[in-house]
Amino acid sequence: MKILLLHVDHIKFKPLKKALKKVEPLSDEEKKEKYVKEALVVLTAVEKSDKDIKKVVEKLVENVKDVASQVKAKTIVLYPYAHLSSELSDPELAMNVLIEAEKELKKSFVVVRAPFGYYKEFELKVKGHPLSELSREIKVEGTGKEKSEEKYDATHLLNEISKAKLDTSKLKLNDHRILGQQMDLFSFTDVAPGMVFWHNNGLIIKNELINFWREMHREHGYQEISTPQIMDKKLWQVSGHWEKYKDNNFLTEYEKRAFLVKPMNCPGGMLVYKTRPRSYRELPMRVGELGVVHRVELSGVLAGLFRVIQFTQDDAHIFCSEEQLEDEIFEIMELIDLFYKKFNLEFDHIELSTRPEKRIGSDEIWEKSEILLEKALKKRRIKYKINKGEGAFYGPKIDFHVKDSLERTWQLSTIQLDFSMPERFGLEYMDKDNKRKRPVMLHRVIYGSLERFIGILLEHTNGRLPTWLAPIQVRVLSFTDRNVDYAKKIVKKFKDEMPNLRIDSDFRQTTVPAKVKDAEIMRVPYIIVVGDKEEKSKKLAVRVRGSQKIEIVDVEKFIERIKEEIKERK
């Protein structure tokens, strides 16, 4: 139970309308406005864990008496105030606690109890002395036995686990959640809201994106690291994330030390930087990390792959000198450009987000950083909007937004400038002149989150991914049972030529149109039908990615074509 004790000159309140469906009826007297002078107002929120009414009431009364005697209050106002807790008990329990507490307190005080379950207008004047505002948390300890003998019935609990049911009423046909189901890419369940279960087909896409990412980043002078999933709370106090995002972290513990499930990769990266003295020769040091992060998000904001609790960031941190900054920013912009061209994606708009209210670092540094980013944008002649006050708490950023099937925009790539983290973590390098200097840092992602990126990509292609990304690249259909042996030979030939080709077959005894339909729903780029004609002519009848036209092609030529597409990532 949570309570807030306010010592007031007066309080005035009046019930307006029901907040709950089932509440105590009010007498005419109770419906009237109440005015109480010189009172200790006890705002109460009864919580789920307050099952032992007797003990809860006992402790509540004890607390109230304690404070009342200190402030010398003779009148108590018990005032239900649900907003103190997010773990509220059911109304019945709450009512009982309040009624019992009222009875107890009446033995020593004048008690006024405000009605439960109503929206009330109220006005009060707090005295303002040191003891006039106090909050208390009342906990009833369960006996050790109860804890160790936690009772549950596994088969019973299984009933509570269900697959997340998608409400498709407001969705477009190319919504990634529908495609994900059709193409067997991923799923969600009740027991892991906002966390993706990647099926084989979906993971293929994710892994291919990662392969491409790794290749491009190696080419662009990045190293890659991987840091732990949970780290001591201290680290996040150093970085400032604890201060700013306390409630948005998953907490766990190890030998009585508090650990945070990482919501960001940067602090881990900082520690790697600090493992040995660094030289100016190492800068710019570009360090990538495909980090899995967890963030506690409000349940109402979750949305398919677009907004999740657990996701993979294609993160990177670039440590460099101030002189190198501009070039590094351009370098990242080029990389972003390269990626979006590859996927034929266009940005809806680009934002420059400036200093937020809650931030670290001096105003001079913020000024400098913002000007720097703006200059870079202007030099590149990039159109952008200013998003005032929306920067990260450690620095301003440039965000790249893309539209989804419902015309909502989502941030994918971002470039963030940061003078503060290196300061907080005491990062240094030895410069030419043998003096210790502080590096500057850039945080950046290209895909943003792999989850969100895949969602966008699916919607933009309507699931018809380029061959290199398609979970199934080629499917061979038999015309009749007569043709199965030959069709198997074709499949084998493809596999011999391309061991990594994702090819499968459909030899069911059904019509060709039926099998084509299924392959189309799976968005297979190349559907090959093998029948008597093909056996005779030794050619292939290929249906290409959604077009209704059938191409008759030479086997060898077709294999070359696919090889080329996969190699060139088309």
Return the residues of window 152-191 that contact RNA according to CB under 7 A: 156, 159-160, 162-171, 177, 181, 188, 190
Q: Is 22 annotated as catalytic?
A: no
| Min dist. Cβ of residue 474 to RNA (A) | 13
Window 536-555: residues binding RNA (CB under 7 A)? 541, 543, 546, 548, 550
What does the alpha-carbon distance between residue 17 and residue 14 come to, in Å, rounded to a whole number? 10
Q: Considering the complex, what minimum distance in angstroms separates the CB of residue 128 from RNA?
A: 30
- Interface mask toward RNA for 295-314; x: CB under 7 A: xxxxxxxxxx--x-------
β-strand pairing of 397-403 with 429-430: unpaired
Catalytic residue among 315, 404, 418, 506: 315
3-state secondary structure of 307: strand
DSSP 73-129: --EEEEEE-GGG-SSB--HHHHHHHHHHHHHHHHTTSEEEEPPTTEEEEEEEEE--S
Binding of RNA by 481 (CB under 7 A):
yes
Q: Which one of residues 245, 340, 347, 384 is an interface residue with RNA (CB under 7 A)?
A: 245
Q: Which listed residue (397, 444, 460, 523) is catalytic?
A: 397
Cβ nearer to RNA, comparing 154 with 298: 298
Is residue 71 within 8 Å of residue 7, measured between CB atoms?
yes
Q: Among residues 65, 193, 201, 387, which is the contact residue for RNA, using CB under 7 A?
A: 193
Structure tokens of 431?
Answer: 């410069």
Give 61 or 491: the residue with its C-beta nearer to RNA.
Answer: 491
Q: Residue 160: CB partners within 8 Å, gap ≥ 6?
A: 190
Q: Considering only residues 131, 480, 493, 495, which one is a binding residue for RNA as defined by CB under 7 A? A: 480
User: Is there a catalytic annotation at residue 315?
Assistant: yes
Site pattern 435..474 for RNA (x: CB under 7 A): --------x-------------------------------
Is 313 labeled as catalytic in the residue annotation? yes
What the block records as the tokens of 193 is 């809201």
Residue 496 binding RNA, by CB under 7 A:
no
State in angstroms the smallest separation of the CB of 435 from RNA: 31
Specify whether 317 is catalytic. yes
Q: Which of 295, 355, 515, 543 is catalytic?
A: 295
Task: Quote the tokens at residue 88.
Answer: 């509220």
Check binding of 339 to RNA (CB under 7 A). no
Rg for the chain, CA atoms, rounded: 32
Distance CA 305, CA 192 (A): 13
Nearest approach in angstroms of CB 352 to RNA is: 13
Q: Which of 113, 217, 307, 317 is catalytic?
A: 317
Q: Which residues of 426-457 are buried (b: 16+ CB within 10 A; e: fewer)?
A: ebbbeeeeeeebebbbbbbbbbbbbbbbbbbb
Per CB under 7 A, the segment of 84-92, 209-217, 327-335, 376-384 that binds RNA is: 84-92
Q: How far is residue 306's CA from residue 303's CA, in Å, rounded to a whole number?
A: 5
**Residue 264 found at the interface with RNA (CB under 7 A):** yes
Site for RNA in 413-442 (CB under 7 A): 416
Amino acid letter at 488?
K
Note if 397 is an active site residue: yes
Using the structure block, give the residue that is written with the tokens 């003998």.
149
Question: Does the annotation count 172 as an active-site position?
Answer: no
Within residues 500-539, the interface with RNA by CB under 7 A covers 508-514, 516-517, 520-521, 527, 529, 531-534
320 counts as catalytic = no
Tell me which stretch binds RNA (CB under 7 A): 52-60, 82-90, 202-210, 489-497: 82-90
Query: Could you tell me the smallest distance in angstroms from the CB atom of residue 177 to RNA?
Result: 5
Element (H, E) at 493: helix 484-497
Provide the sign of the torsion angle of the four alpha carbons 536, 537, 539, 543, taken in this order.
Answer: negative
> How many residues interact with RNA (rule CB under 7 A)?
78
The two structure tokens encoding residue 54: 């007797």
Residues 401/351, Cβ–Cβ less than 8 Å: yes
Report the DSSP beta bridge partners of residue 350. 400
Residue positions annotated with a catalytic role: 266, 295, 313, 315, 317, 397, 443
